[in-house]
Amino acid sequence: MASHIILPPDDDDEQQRREDEENDGGGSGGDGQQQQAGGNDAKAALPFSAMCVRISRDSYPNLRALRNASHASLTDAAYVKISEGDFGYVLDDVPHLADYLPDVPTYPNPLQDHPAYSTVKQYFVNEDDTVPQKVVVQKNSRRGVHFRRAGPRQRVNFESDEVKACIVSCGGLCPGLNTVIRELVCGLAHMYNVNNIFGIQNGYKGFYSSNYVAITPKTVNDIHKRGGTVLGTSRGGHDTKKIVDNIQDRGIKVYIIGGDGTQKGAYEIYKEIRKRGLKVAVAGVPKTIDNDIAIIDKSFGFDSAVEEAQRAINSAHVEACSAENGIGLVKLMGRYSGFIAMYATLASRDVDCCLIPESPFYMDGEGGLLQYVERRLKENKHMVIVVAEGAGQDIIAKSIPASDQQDASGNKLLLDIGLWLTHKIKDHFKSKKMEMTIKYIDPTYMIRAIPSNAADNVYCTLLAHSAIHGAMAGYSFTVGMVNGRHAYIPFYRVTSTRNKVKITDRMWARLLSSTNQPSFLSQKDIDEAREADRLANKPPLPSVANHNVAKAFDQSASASSSGEI
């Protein structure tokens, strides 16, 4: 038998729930009081045919440990929905309106009458469908952690006329933002007959400081061909109370496009909405050019960015080849994660050295960068270096006093590694009286301002559609592709860790072998990197949930995406 665990909420909510249960004459625990996993039809919404049991605060064995956990995880605990099935199956589910509005009505999905979709056999996804976090398994593996499969549901929780949708984009630019906005608008209008759609201007602060702009399929018709976001974007400005006051007053349902910071903001909004008992769904579409969002295979715009980076690398190569001892140095984005640099390097084959934040390097002495550059110029007369902007910050900090400054969202401000390397390399060859030329190219803002390529356009469309289906069906979530299938992922899973290049994985080994650069790593660095990977992959809550769940999470953690293929 499987059980469905909803970790108990904070004291006030818990008190209210107990009173409700007393009024209903029900109890908690295994006394027949059933809790829905998602929709209103409890049976249809269950992840698998099993009895779902609400486990009360008192009966939950590890709750003490949970209460002693950090404040962040304590808050998260109230919103985590874990169910267990056979053979180590665990569903890390997303919250649903019915979790706190038990009488929320359901309606037939209007798509069933849609001429394009009604002919598709099995167009609606089965409520039992889930997507595994780990697909590489051994004969005796446990089934591990799963996420709810994205897609249209037979029944929805909103009527078309009651929906007022709003869309906001936050954080830095990324190719594909306009495509997601376009497809949210067109999908809502064409699939669900929703005609009240508004754009929030200039990021989160637009919820309370600007007018909401009405948008229609007609007004967004061509925007996918343009870079940037027609809604505007910003960092900072997340005032949860003011945002939710406006959501409440205007009766809207929210689509939020943005990176890790934005998803944290979406989670805060969701928690406040739930606290106030509002009938509002919050759907997050993860955006980050750095591709550093946990769990998902890849963020939209990443492929377009890697493709565009090729143009800069090609130019660097041309410059380098056309000079005596020419060096082309290209800086690419990647504040904490070097995915763009790694993939752009692997795609190009012209790069002799790729430096990323995850892999420490050093300049001087045996095995250092300067020695390698010297050797490469002697062998080949030219070289191309790609550096992610977050690389080597510790080395620069030794020569330039770092000020620990942050942007409005709290992201650390970086020193210009490209410029710093250029000067260091120049000085080195000057002191050796060796002639050379170095050309530094910084294409970062040019890359993220382009419109998305064809593959990203299709990806953005599917993400937008999945977000619409999930929100109409009453779920709140971050949507993303997990092992090639679209899934609804709980906010806490994408906000608790950041995806990073694992320098102990095969993908980084492939890169090192393709450039033939030194790894710059000591055994101590490798040990530290392994330990950091282990800790980064450890999901936050389930370790205190129960033994089976913790085991499933540990097992799936080792599979979290990092480019390992």
Angle between the 302-321 and 339-348 helix axes, to the nearest 10 degrees?
60
Q: What is the C-alpha to C-alpha distance for residues 552 and 61, in angstroms, rounded to an integer?
A: 18
Nearest to ligand ADP of 304, 409 (CB atom): 409
Nearest to ligand FBP of 217, 236 (CB atom): 236
Q: Is 249 an annotated catalytic residue?
A: no
Q: C-beta of 409: minimal distance to Mg ion in Å?
A: 7
Are the CB atoms for 512 and 520 separated by under 8 Å? no
Residue ranges binding ligand FBP (CB under 6 A): 171-172, 174, 259, 288-290, 333-335, 389, 407, 448
Residue ranges binding ligand ADP (CB under 6 A): 170-172, 203-204, 235-238, 258-262, 264-265, 268, 288, 409, 411
Tokens at residue 195, please?
Answer: 């005609």
Nearest to ligand ADP of 262, 453 (CB atom): 262
* Binds 334: which of Mg ion, ligand ADP, ligand FBP, none (CB < 5-8 Å by kind): ligand FBP
Q: What is the C-alpha to C-alpha distance for residues 231 and 205, in angstroms, rounded to an integer?
A: 12
* Binds 238: which of ligand ADP, Mg ion, ligand FBP, none (CB < 5-8 Å by kind): ligand ADP
* Binds 185: which of Mg ion, ligand ADP, ligand FBP, none (CB < 5-8 Å by kind): none
Q: What is the C-alpha to C-alpha distance for residues 211 and 91, in angstroms, rounded to an integer?
A: 40
Residue ranges at the known binding site: 172, 235-236, 259-262, 288-290, 333-335, 389, 445-448
* Binds 333: which of ligand FBP, ligand ADP, Mg ion, none (CB < 5-8 Å by kind): ligand FBP
Kindly list the distances between the CA atom of residue 278 and the CA atoms of 249, 270, 415, 430, 446, in Å, as whole numbers in the listed order: 11, 10, 44, 67, 41
* Binds 289: which of ligand ADP, Mg ion, ligand FBP, none (CB < 5-8 Å by kind): ligand FBP
Q: C-beta of 472: minimal distance to ligand ADP in Å?
A: 24
Binding mask 249-288 for Mg ion (x = CB under 5 A): ----------xxx---------------------------
Residue ranges at the known binding site for ATP: 172, 235-236, 259-262
Other beta carbons within 10 angstroms of residue 511's beta carbon come to 23
Question: 303 exposed, middle or buried (CB, 10 Å; 0-12, 13-18, 19+)?
Answer: buried
Nearest to Mg ion of 286, 328 (CB atom): 286
By beta-carbon distance, which residue lies closest to Mg ion?
A: 259
Sheet holding 326-332, edge to edge: 353-355, 382-388, 326-332, 437-441
What's at 407, amino acid-wise?
D
DSSP string, 83-115: EE-GGGEEEEEPPBGGGT-TT---EE-GGGG-T
* Binds 264: which of ligand ADP, Mg ion, ligand FBP, none (CB < 5-8 Å by kind): ligand ADP
Q: C-beta of 288: minimal distance to Mg ion in Å?
A: 6
Helical (H) or strand (E) element with 148? strand 144-149
Nearest to ligand ADP of 257, 468 (CB atom): 257
Q: Which of 290, 292, 303, 352 is catalytic?
A: 290
Answer positive or negative: Cα dihedral of 35, 36, 42, 44. negative
Residue ranges at the known binding site for Mg(2+): 260
Name which of 544, 563, 543, 561 is nearest 553 in CA terms: 543
**Dihedral angle, C-alpha 417, 419, 421, 424, nearest 10 °:** -140
Q: How many residues bind Mg ion (CB under 5 A)?
A: 3
Is residue 132 classed as helix, strand or coil in its secondary structure? strand
Nearest to Mg ion of 155, 205 (CB atom): 205
Extended strands (E) in 274-317:
282-286
Q: C-beta of 205: minimal distance to ligand ADP in Å?
A: 7
What are the residue numbers of the active site? 290
Residues near Mg ion (CB under 5 A) are 259-261
